[in-house]
Structure 1
Amino acid sequence: MKIKNEQIELIYRPEQKNFSLRSVVGDSIFFEKAIFGVMWEDENGKKHESQVSDLDEVTVKELESMVIEVSGKHHTGWELSLRVELRSDIAGIELQSSFKNNTGRSLKLIDLLLISGDFKKPSKSRGSFYVFENGWQSWSPSGIKPGISSSRIPRFLFLRDINLGSLRYRLSWLKPGIVSEMFSKLELTDYPLSLVIGALESRNGFTEVFIKNKKVRVTCQAEVSLDDSEQWVSDKAILFLFSKELSLEKYAELVALQANLKKIPPPKKGWCSWYHHGPFINQRKILEELNLAKELKKKIPLEVILIDGGWCRWGDWLDSWREKFPLGMGWLAEKISQEGFLPGIWLAPFTCQGSSTIFKCHPDWFIKDHRGKPISVRKVTASKLTEQLSGSILYGLDPTHPAVKDYIKEMIRVVVKE
């Protein structure tokens, strides 16, 4: 089957159960041997990888103009489909996958593989291959790097360089390769266009892009348990060609369009304590930075002074700051305001360190596992022993507990008002 518009052509090959994409204008086949699939776990805890080639009764149908759906059924009963739309506003395609459990029992859906294929450069290109890697929050780097390189491997004690879910599944991670969170772009030094790949939304899962040499995979992490007859639909993703200089701006525009955002206010410019001092902050350091920000305001027009993590112990938000900030957080906020800046503060209100007073005094306030033990809600280090020794194990407050609700309300009131 072939569908084509003025910018792009998609060819599906039922015998090979794969498809290719190419730009209609010029020598630019940019994706070939593309497939889709799923990683799932059965009721016995065994993980399985299945691709479209493993499905029976695979059908391809044109749902509407420029939209096709490839679907099939696994011998265990579950069904998988991929919807592909040729966009009319850009040289690209939109993808969305759906998984339905018809096995007669529950199973766990781990990942949906939206697309996996080979990035094919134009035949006349002799340029070097580069990839934009988007990091995981603030813990890992973002930027252009050679396509033959790989993402940083987590350090021995701290797993903060990459989203842990990116490393967990054989179906997803092309090891060693590049892991890019939410979006990426691929480009050649002698070609004017970039191939941008990314999520259009983040409603149900978490989209990631994996690149090894010129092999590309796009997944949507699910991590959900499905009863019989339940269905799970991935977030929408997009692949498109655009000029190098404006490709990421165009991607942001498409994401805003998907979210129906008419106007995005400009972000506030500010200074954040974390990216210079980390958790090692105190009243003296913040006042020194405040004075410097005031002196440099004409050159660096900051609006916000944000006190990030380290100002107190996680969980003991109302009193554990006294040693570091003897004049009080309210006094400091007023001082920042007097100097013409907007004071800001970082919080994680539903999370507490194991060493916090609130954790020790109110064990009934916390989320527990089936054995009645409090659950560690975030993996910070590779070693449980290191977590225990540092007191950095983080536990989650139970938001349904009446006392927790009262505590959260009072804590937020004090932080905002006092």
Structure 2
Amino acid sequence: MRVRPKKVKGQFGFWIEDLFNFPAFTFPAIDLELSERRFLWIPDEPGYAPEGSSQTWYWFVQDFEVEVTWKARENALLMSLKMTNLSELPLTIYAIDPARITIDPLLLKNPAQLSIFQNGFQSWSPTRFRKANDTMKFPRIKSFGEMNHYTDSGFWKRKDGLLSNQFLVLKEQSALEAGIFGFLTQKTGLGEIFWQTTERGQLICRLDFGGKELLPEQTLRTEALYMASENWPDIVENYADAVGEAMSARVPDRPLVGWSSWYEYYTKISQSDMLANARIAGSQPELGIEYIQLDDGYQTAVGDWLVRKKSFPEPLVKLAEAIKSHGMKAGIWLAPFMASTKSILYREHPQWFLRDTNGKTIDCGFNPNWSGRSLALDLTHPDLQDWLHNLFAALRA
């Protein structure tokens, strides 16, 4: 269903039209399965709005109910969706698009006037400004894609646009004004924003649920979709504040200052290197260094975090004590939710690893620094949970 902005209750439609010159606003769309039939539900008529309410729309379907709510904030609008299973059978939810906005073709015909800020899936993913008519670039080596991108996304491998994770920013090249679309949390669904660059493109705001089961009479509440208009870079800072507020972020009184072994030694690190740098940092208090962090390279394999290489002849607690003696705190890096196929953990506890419906382990990709492939751990396994608890307890001690 496509709704002209002037038909949307309240300021919402006018805000979208005035700010981005988008001619149409479409919502919602739900990819679901019921009684072994998978289909895409898109309402064919406007939702029911209770008398006197301009912030909520309802759709009553035979098997489920959908409620869309939006509320205004300073320079921003929050939109959320609630879905209730009214059937006697479980529903399977694959994805929900709280909003789909049709893109003005003029924006795509004049890409030099508009930039798209693309946010990566994690720290190794591309995160930068792109032209409005750019499309996704894919690694030539499949395993690099698995390591650096969310390759399970329904948008992955599409060649008609750009995929941004959690949020996306639109900014005019010659002005500070910008617009942002982003989800405030990732508690129930994984937020994605897809900028489709075909002639009649769309900006699709999607939550990926990966096949979440919704039992009879059970309700699913989505993450809030945040939409705002403001100058760059204030718009990103205010969005980050809203995310932090929604997730009850613990914000330190001041930025943390520290030294990490990674940026000098990468994986070629030793205990003697760490001790030498701790002494130097401790002898120069004017630098304000509070933490000395041991990064990747101390462990024999990813997953074997308490098994040290020969370059670390003493237990890690000795290194932590030495750092503390120089007036600083010790930090450590680890990637606790995966393990190398060459690790002791994989060899001794194969049942702790995540598997697909065919019983095959889930590959996290290849990293040459880790001497092989890494597999995902099954965080629902009780024994693995105990192992992780004991691991962090040991490292913290």
TM range (shorter): 0.7 to 0.9
CA 1:184–1:295 in 2, change beyond 3 Å: closer, same or farther? Answer: farther
Look up the match of 1:239: 227
Give the Cα–Cα distance (whole angstroms) in 2 for the partners of residues 321 and 131 of structure 1: 44
Q: CA deviation at 1:82?
A: 2.4
CA contact (8 A) 1:306 1:343 kept: yes
Q: CA deviation at 1:221?
A: 1.6
Q: CA deviation at 1:120?
A: 4.5
Give the Cα–Cα distance (whole angstroms) in 2 for the partners of residues 62 and 175 of structure 1: 42
2:17 corresponds to 1:22 = yes
Counting only pairs closer than 5 Å after superposition, residues 80-95 of structure 1 correspond to structure 2 as 80-85=66-71, 87-90=72-75, 92-95=76-79
Look up the match of 1:37: 29
CA 1:136–1:175 in 2, change beyond 3 Å: closer, same or farther? Answer: same
Secondary structure of 2:78's counterpart equals strand
Secondary structure of 2:347's counterpart equals helix
TM-score normalized by the length of structure 2:
0.79
Look up the match of 2:317: 330
Look up the match of 1:102: 86
Deviations 1:211-250 (A, max 9, x none): 1346311111222112333321211111111112311112
CA contact (8 A) 1:268 1:303 kept: yes
Letter in 2 for 1:412: F
Question: Could you tell me which of 221, 245, 249 is aligned with 2:237?
Answer: 249
Q: CA deviation at 1:190?
A: 3.2
Give the Cα–Cα distance (whole angstroms) in 1 for the partners of residues 272 and 333 of structure 2: 18
Give the Cα–Cα distance (whole angstroms) in 2 for the partners of residues 33 and 342 of structure 1: 52
Give the Cα–Cα distance (whole angstroms) in 1 for the partners of residues 23 and 324 of structure 2: 54
Secondary structure of 2:171's counterpart equals strand
Give the Cα–Cα distance (whole angstroms) in 2 for the partners of residues 204 and 161 of structure 1: 22
Q: CA deviation at 1:21?
A: 2.4
Look up the match of 1:153: 138
Look up the match of 2:214: 226
Look up the match of 2:392: 412
Give the Cα–Cα distance (whole angstroms) in 1 for the partners of residues 158 and 356 of structure 2: 35
Q: CA deviation at 1:165?
A: 3.4
Question: Could you tell me which of 270, 274, 285 is aligned with 1:282?
Answer: 270
Counting only pairs closer than 5 Å after superposition, residues 71-86 of structure 1 correspond to structure 2 as 71-73=59-61, 77-85=63-71
Counting only pairs closer than 5 Å after superposition, residues 113-192 of structure 1 correspond to structure 2 as 113-120=97-104, 128-156=113-141, 157-158=143-144, 159-166=146-153, 169=154, 175-192=159-176
Letter in 2 for 1:41: E
Look up the match of 1:16: none
2:260 corresponds to 1:272 = yes
Q: Which has the higher helix share?
A: 2
Secondary structure of 2:312's counterpart equals coil
CA 1:94–1:400 in 2, change beyond 3 Å: closer, same or farther? Answer: same
Count of aligned residue pairs for this structure pair:
381
Q: CA deviation at 1:128?
A: 1.1
Question: Could you tell me which of 285, 304, 315 is aligned with 1:316?
Answer: 304
Question: Could you tell me which of 382, 392, 396 is aligned with 2:374?
Answer: 392
Letter in 2 for 1:316: D
Give the Cα–Cα distance (whole angstroms) in 2 for the partners of residues 36 and 270 of structure 1: 46
Work out the percentage of aligned pairs sharing the same amino acid. 19
Q: Return 344-353 or 388-397, whichever deviates more.
A: 388-397
Letter in 2 for 1:207: G
Letter in 2 for 1:202: Q
CA contact (8 A) 2:363 2:374 kept: no
CA contact (8 A) 2:188 2:222 kept: yes
Structure 1 runs not aligned, ≥5 long: 12-19
CA 1:336–1:51 in 2, change beyond 3 Å: closer, same or farther? Answer: same
Q: CA deviation at 1:202?
A: 3.0
CA 1:99–1:334 in 2, change beyond 3 Å: closer, same or farther? Answer: same
Give the Cα–Cα distance (whole angstroms) in 1 for the partners of residues 123 and 356 of structure 2: 33
TM-score normalized by the length of structure 1:
0.75
Give the Cα–Cα distance (whole angstroms) in 2 for the partners of residues 135 and 264 of structure 1: 25
Secondary structure of 1:337's counterpart equals helix
Q: CA deviation at 1:259?
A: 4.6
Secondary structure of 2:396's counterpart equals helix
**TM-align CA RMSD:** 3.9
CA contact (8 A) 1:152 1:162 kept: no
Structure 2 runs not aligned, ≥5 long: 1-6
CA 1:296–1:111 in 2, change beyond 3 Å: closer, same or farther? Answer: farther
CA 1:35–1:361 in 2, change beyond 3 Å: closer, same or farther? Answer: closer
Q: CA deviation at 1:275?
A: 5.2
Letter in 1 for 2:16: L
Q: CA deviation at 1:197?
A: 0.9
CA 1:409–1:70 in 2, change beyond 3 Å: closer, same or farther? Answer: closer
Secondary structure of 2:365's counterpart equals coil
